[in-house]
Amino acid sequence: MKIMIVDDEVIIRNGLCTVIDWKELGLELIPPAASAEEALERIPTEKPDILLTDIRMSGMDGIELAKEVKEMLPGTEVLILTGYDDFSYAQQALRGGVTDYLLKTSRPEEIIKAAMKAKQNIVERQEWIKQEMLQQTALNKQALLNVLNGGLDDERGADLDRVREWFRKQGMNKPGDDLSLRVMLLSASGWGEKPFDDLLHGAVDNILCELLPCMTLVGKDRLVLVAREETGVSDRPALERIQNRVEEILKCTVFSALGSLATSYEGLKQSYQDALEVYAYKGLIGSRGLFAAEDIKGRAGGRTLCTEKEEAELSAILMNNDATALRHWVNQTVRNQLEDPAVTPVTLRAFLHSLVVAGYRWAERTRAGLGDPSPNLAIPASLSFEWDARPEDEVFKQLSAAMAVYHQSMDQTRFSYIHKAIAYIKDHLDQPLSLNQVAGIVHSNPNHFSEVFKRETGMTYLEFVTRERMRKAAEILQCTPSKVADVAKRVGYVDIKYFTQQFKKHTGKTPSEFRQHPKEAE
């Protein structure tokens, strides 16, 4: 903060400069002026914050000087030095914008007190202006956010007017030029977790505002940028060069989504929506680079549900309580979908959720089949993850939880390995199910397993497997139009004739007869 002393008497002028340690008061003393005319000549360049001037000088007096300075620099604080004879004159000067007046006989501490009061006035005014600017900026940015999101009908006009005026003042809409704006979404990574990612986005914001004709909104995990379209300055090739520059300077990785061109402020909403649609593909089309609508054109969507084969593979892994196999299977299955060129964020999220639902349903179905009275598992309503942050980790986490709950529940029951064997049998009726094989899966001696199995179920192992296969076959015949040969394969029979014999033995009807009259079966 700078102070200038103006007095045509060299003794007073030099005395005011030397008696008081202005630097110690936080004020920079610029060279004094010997007249009002000299001061007026220098003030536009040197811009003092405080002016300490004599009231009576040859030529222009202090009152006139104060008036001129106030018109030139309204924020300048003016202190008048006066003698007793000019006391009433100095009082009148207060009404003309002079901050305070001092007698020439004032002690140094009185002059210091007046200077500090003037300094405090400046500080308070600057703080008020700062707060006012912050408030106006916040209102402008909120209005822009409302415009981008559509806003309420009764407020849309006011928001558009505020944004229009804000952009005009910032040179975003040059007079005589057609409006040409584009919304861009950016996210940067590479500095680690919070608070470093917040610092990174702030740094990206600073660089972009220096290199581009733009307005920005800093969000929690990304930047929203509205740029004025200029060939060679802010068109797509220029934006790609600038993005590469940002990465080089900040040693980070930047992903950007470019919206459509808006030729009106109303069109900013569509540009924003287009950018959001592209941004949703972050991680699917890449984790760095600048992308636009043409880069996702033609993606019709991938699978939304897992197949019966995938569900059977998952069930076997969950039954075996094998976390390593589960991790490998999830990674492979998710990666296959991520590499599908037709996939969209919506279809991929639905597919991954179907994997989790399949795991939870397996646990519920298996526990229910064993008579477990425990409460049902809470199936997640949705998955929370970002495509570039390994979505397979979240799928593995959810499936691991289902697997853990099931096995913990089974471990608390007597002869839990029998229950696990039963669950395995029900999930693998289409495969060979020898007693030795299943006993090995549950880590039990085959002879001991056979004895305990019969005691727990009331039937031999073979009787139980056959019964379950016939039950499953009956269910398929009732619910699907599958051919008898296909039904036989789905319950583990290669010989259709033998399957038909076994089915009739258990139901009293052949498969074809059962399909026509299922309620009449024995």
Q: How many other C-beta atoms can be found within 10 angstroms of the C-beta atom of residue 41? A: 12
Alpha-carbon distance of 205 to 346, in angstroms, equals 30
Domain 170-294 has CATH 3.30.70.270: yes
Kindly report the CATH number that applies to the domain delimited by 2-125.
3.40.50.2300
CB atoms within 10 A of CB 337: 19
Fold of 416-522: Arc Repressor Mutant, subunit A (1.10.10)
DSSP H or E stretch at residue 195 = none
The alpha helices in 150-285, defined as continuous H runs, are 153-169, 196-211, 236-250, 268-279
27: left (phi > 0), else alpha (psi -120 to 50), else beta?
beta
pLDDT bin (cut points 50, 70, 90) of residue 520 is: low
Q: 477 in helix, strand or coil?
A: helix
The Cα 411–Cα 401 span in angstroms is: 15
User: With 80 as the cut, is the pLDDT of residue 386 above it?
Assistant: no
Q: What are the angstrom distances between the C-alpha of 250 and each of 12, 191, 200, 202, 245?
A: 55, 9, 8, 11, 9
pLDDT at 499 over 60: yes
Q: Contact 379/356 with Cβ under 8 angstroms?
A: yes
Whether 150 contacts 87, CB under 8 Å: no
Could you report the per-residue pLDDT of 111-163, keeping only the tens digit for each? 999 999 999 999 999 999 899 988 998 899 999 999 999 866 656 788 999 99
Mean pLDDT of 206-230: 91
Phi–psi pair at 146, nearest 5 degrees: -65, -40
Question: Which regions of the chain carry the CATH code 3.40.50.2300?
Answer: 2-125
Rg of the chain in Å (alpha carbons): 41
Percent of the chain with pLDDT strictly greater than 90: 49
Q: The tokens of 64 are what?
A: 């006139």
For residues 374 and 408, give the distance between their C-alpha atoms in angstroms, rounded to a whole number: 11
State the pTM of this model. 0.64
In this predicted model, what pLDDT tens digit does every residue of 1-38 receive, in sequence order? Answer: 999 999 999 998 999 999 999 999 999 999 999 999 99
**pLDDT tops 60 at residue 452:** yes
Residue 147 one-letter amino acid: V
Tokens encoding 212: 């581009």
Higher confidence at residue 363 or residue 255?
A: 255
Q: How confident is the model at residue 381 (pLDDT cuts 50, 70, 90)?
A: low
Q: Is a pLDDT exceeding 90 seen at residue 207?
A: yes
| Three-class DSSP category at 310 | helix
* 33-89 pLDDT tens trace: 999 999 999 999 999 999 999 888 888 988 889 889 989 999 999 998 887 566 666
Residue 195, preceding peptide bond in cis (omega within 30° of 0): yes
pLDDT of the residue at 195: 66
* Token reading at 405: 């709950």
Which part of the chain is CATH 3.30.70.270? Answer: 170-294
Provide the pLDDT for residue 517: 77
Instruction: Identify which of 247-256, 313-322, 386-395 has the greatest average pLDDT.
Output: 247-256
Has residue 375 got a pLDDT over 60? no
Answer yes or no: is pLDDT of 380 > 80.
no
| Average pLDDT over all residues of the chain | 87
Phi, psi torsion values for 173, nearest 5 degrees: -130, 95
Contact 27, 115 (CB under 8 A): yes
In 3D, which of 427, 424, 429 has the Cα closest to residue 440? 424
Segments of the chain assigned to CATH 1.10.10.60 = 416-522
Q: Name the residue with higher pLDDT: 407 or 507.
A: 507
Q: What is the pLDDT of residues 415-430, one digit of tens each?
A: 677 877 888 888 889 8
